[in-house]
Structure 1
Amino acid sequence: MKRRTGYMKLGLTVFCTVSAILLFYDTLFGRRVLQSISRQMLTAVQPILYGALIAYLLAPVVNFFERTLFPGALEKARRKGRLTARGTRALSLLLTWLLICVLGYLLASVLLPELYRSVLQLAGNVENYYLIISGWVEHLLETNPDVEAWVMTQMDTYFTDIETWLTKEALPQATTLMTAVSGGVVSTLVFLKNLLVGVIVSVYLLATKELCAAHARKVVFGLFSQQNVRWVLRGTHKVDEIFSGFVRGKLLDSLIIGILCFVGCSLLKFPYTPLVSVIVGVTNVIPFFGPFLGAIPSTFLILLASPLKALYFVLFVLFLQQLDGNVIGPKILGDKTGLSSLWVIIAILVGGSFFGIPGMFFGVPVCACLYSAGTFFVEIRLRKKSLPISTDAYTADRPQRPPAAPDGEPPL
């Protein structure tokens, strides 16, 4: 029996090794079948992913309505042997989606028309702004002969390259773009269909979230040993704590900043107030660099209309970001990630280089999870070696191997 089990393990190991080698070869030199299948599978489960994301974002709202409006209902249901109070959960879901519909109506009736007018105003003033910018450039060239000579040299150098690019690259890309635009209606309908299915999936997940969590724990207990289950659940809870605190908190913080920017710009009568508020609110989602990414184009838009108001806008944005960084952000986010400013910058740069804007947003919580896991394993190793886990114990003027008791961290 033991020999048969050994043969089965050996055969399984050989099969997995050969499969891994074939997949690696196909990914690098073959037809990349695995990538094609993965892409097709991702397209198939896209509505489910939408629904899971919507449910993950709305779960705190449902919990708030349940605990505030129906206190004690969940405990009564648990005493009766049920995971949830069905009537209470249904009413909480109804109130949650009513709130979403009200916010959507306010967005569609208040912000979107103003945003549309701002875009039309900007489009109508494009020619005037072009004349203003060209006047600035001409004045700069007239007052700086060296700059004018450099610009003319660059124009002569790159004229042939620009002509080649227009004839050999721009026209084919324009043809491709027109083909993509012609299929834009179909893509929009597919997205709306996936979003509608995702909403339905999110309602189901929110209605049965305790049951889904119980199934997940059941799988964990079935796959892992009793000793490792605790660590898996602890790590999952830590990941959920980081992601939920950062993602939900950052979205709420950006919404508040966008509303405050809209109110402040309206009171100060800045031009393009809705457009500027949307830019500032959306870019605020990106940590650290977001305020600058939103303030620069917004300032340039206002500068074209009024240089003095552009200066006032810069001062207003500085005040708004100080309010966000010192009052609003700490109240909502706190220290959910536990990362220093250096690690936040690294996470944004690396995430942005691989996945663009989504990578800049999700790079911070992913880096926070990796940092937390690395810190946890390092501290375990230090405790096994009876060494202190405090970083202050390992400064340059301390002994290289500081003694410590297994259950404490005495001074060195």
Structure 2
Amino acid sequence: MERKNNYISMGVTAFLTAAAVLLFYDTLFGGKVLLALLETVRPILYGAFIAYLLAPMVNFFERHLFPPHPGRKRSQAMLIRTVGILLAWLMVWFFFYLLASVLLPELYKSVLQLIANVDKYYQTISGWVTSLSNHLLETNPDLAQQIVEKLGDYFQDFGKWLSGLLPQLQTVMTTVSGGVWSAVNFVMDLLVGIIASVYLLATKERCAAYGRKLVYSLFPREQVGLVLRGTKRADTIFSGFVRGKLLDSIIIGILCFVCCSILKFPYTPLVSVFVGVTNVIPFFGPFLGAIPSTFLILLVSPRQALYFVIFVLALQQLDGNVIGPKILGNTTGLSSLWVIIAILVGGGFFGVAGMFFGVPVCACLNSLINFFVDARLRKKGLSPDSGEYAAGGAYGPRPE
């Protein structure tokens, strides 16, 4: 009977391993069935993410406004949970109200100003290009001849493109309408996600209990502690990075808005939104936000554009050396090289969301691999300290 159970266990393990490999291959190179499934449950994922962000706030209100005591009834606990969720959402909506009342009017004015000055900016860029091209053509006659020949080819290609433009207008209109429909779907999914987040926050202890029950049913009793500790470690990495990075980006956006207003940079609200939103992307985010912002200011004043570049460099130094470490600490434990690799791989497969979540996912995998490597080394009677395997260490290369 025991041998039969071992065969069944080996068969289930082999099946699950093969299914995981096929699913991984399909996600990366095939029909992306997993991604299609995630698209289907996207509102629930939104709700889970929102509940994950708001859970510490709900716990804070419950702990400080209603201290726990052993004689509390279930109805009282549900009422306290309802008050905590309500206060958390009131804080969120109050923050967005302040942000909208202060930022949106100024952002609207900046966009209108940008649209009104498009012609002026076109003339400015045209003047720069004309003066640069005139200087190059006067000093390089051969280059001038080559440019004239290339321009003739470009005009012919442009004429062919214009002749085929009308049939493409229908495709363009379809794309635009699809974008509008995608925005509507996003809003609807977000509303469903908000409702789901309220339910998840109300039943988070029950969900956690069911998760532990599932772990006890799937793993041997002696391994349950390892699984739960690994889950807690993953939660520490994700909560520290995701919540900390969002808070850090909000602080950077507000600092950028205040300082740019004091320094009287043009398009201050628009620039602050660029810098704050792109700051959520580790490593590359500051550059992604600074480049379009610098270009916008350059169209108005090259001198102010130079001052803005200096300001952004100073702001990012402040963020990287003071604000970021205070909020994030070393939650991921990854080196700069692995952060870059995680961003590039995550962004390549999943876009902006992959660039953001790639770092904590890579950190969790790194922690898991280190755990297994250290466990194997201890089982062999070897030291898990990496310094012991470097030159001069107990297991490092010997000098010749």
- Band of TM-score, shorter chain: 0.7 to 0.9
Partner residue in 1 for 2:280: 285
**Matched residue, 2:387:** 392
Q: Which residue of 1 aligns with 2:205?
A: 210
The equivalent of 1:53 in structure 2 is: 49
CA 226–120 in structure 1, closer or farther in 2 if over 3 Å, else same: same
Q: Report what 2:247 is aligned to.
A: 252
Number of residue pairs matched by the alignment: 388
The alpha carbon displacement at 1:176 in A equals: 2.4
The code of the aligned residue for 2:135 comes to T
Call closer, same or farther: CA 1:173–1:289 in 2, change over 3 Å.
farther
Q: Structure 1 residues 384 and 281 mapped into 2: Cα distance closer, same or farther (>3 Å)?
A: same
Report the equivalent of 1:132: 124
Q: 1-side partners of 2:11 and 2:332: how far apart?
A: 44
Tell me the residue number matched to 2:302.
Answer: 307
Q: 1:345 aligns with which of 340, 344, 350?
A: 340
What residue ranges of structure 2 are gaps of 5+ in the alignment? none
Counterpart of 1:90 in structure 2 is: 82
| 1:366 has 2:358 as partner | no
- Runs of 4+ with >6 A deviation: 1-14
Shift of the alpha carbon at 1:383? 1.2
| Distance change in 2, residues 1:12/1:173 (3 Å) | farther
TM-score, normalised by the number of residues in structure 1: 0.84
Cα offset, 1:190, TM superposition:
3.0
Kindly provide the amino acid, as one letter, of the partner of residue 258 in structure 1. G
1:142 and 2:134 matched: yes
Structure 1 residues 143 and 109 mapped into 2: Cα distance closer, same or farther (>3 Å)?
same
Name the structure 2 match of 1:261: 256
Instruction: Write the deviation string for residues 347-373 of structure 1: whole angstroms up to 9, x where unpaired.
Output: 112212222221111111111111111
Greater displacement, 91-100 / 153-162: 153-162
Q: 1:172 to 1:383 in 2, by over 3 A?
A: farther
Deviation at 1:189, TM superposition (A): 3.4
- Residues 151-185 of structure 1, C-alpha deviation per residue, up to 9 Å, x if partnerless? 556545655556666666x6665422311333555
Name the structure 2 match of 1:233: 228
Aligned to 2:106: 114
1:314-329 paired onto structure 2 within 5 Å? 314-329=309-324
How well do the aligned residues superpose, as a CA RMSD in angstroms? Answer: 3.2
1:405 maps to what in 2?
A: none
The alpha-carbon deviation at position 230 of structure 1 amounts to: 1.4
CA distance in 1: counterparts of 2:317 and 2:146, whole angstroms: 41
Contact 2:390 2:396 in 1 (8 A): no
Amino acid at match of 1:255: I
1:55-91, Cα deviation, whole Å (9 max, x unpaired): 0111111122222333x22xx15x5585982222221
Tell me how far apart the structure 2 counterparts of residues 385 and 113 of structure 1 sit (CA, whole Å).
Answer: 66
**CA 1:251 to 1:381, structure 2 compared with 1: closer, same or farther past 3 Å?**
same
TM-score (structure 2 length as normaliser): 0.86
Q: 1:42 to 1:172 in 2, by over 3 A?
A: farther
Q: Secondary structure at the match of 1:194?
A: helix
Shift of 1:148: 5.0
Q: Secondary structure at the match of 2:330?
A: coil
Q: Higher mean Cα deviation, 362-371 or 101-110?
A: 101-110
Higher relative contact order (CA 8 A, sep 6+): 2
- Counterparts in 2 of 1:328 and 1:279: CA distance versus 1, 3 Å: same
Task: Report the counterpart of residue 189 of structure 2 in structure 1.
Answer: 194
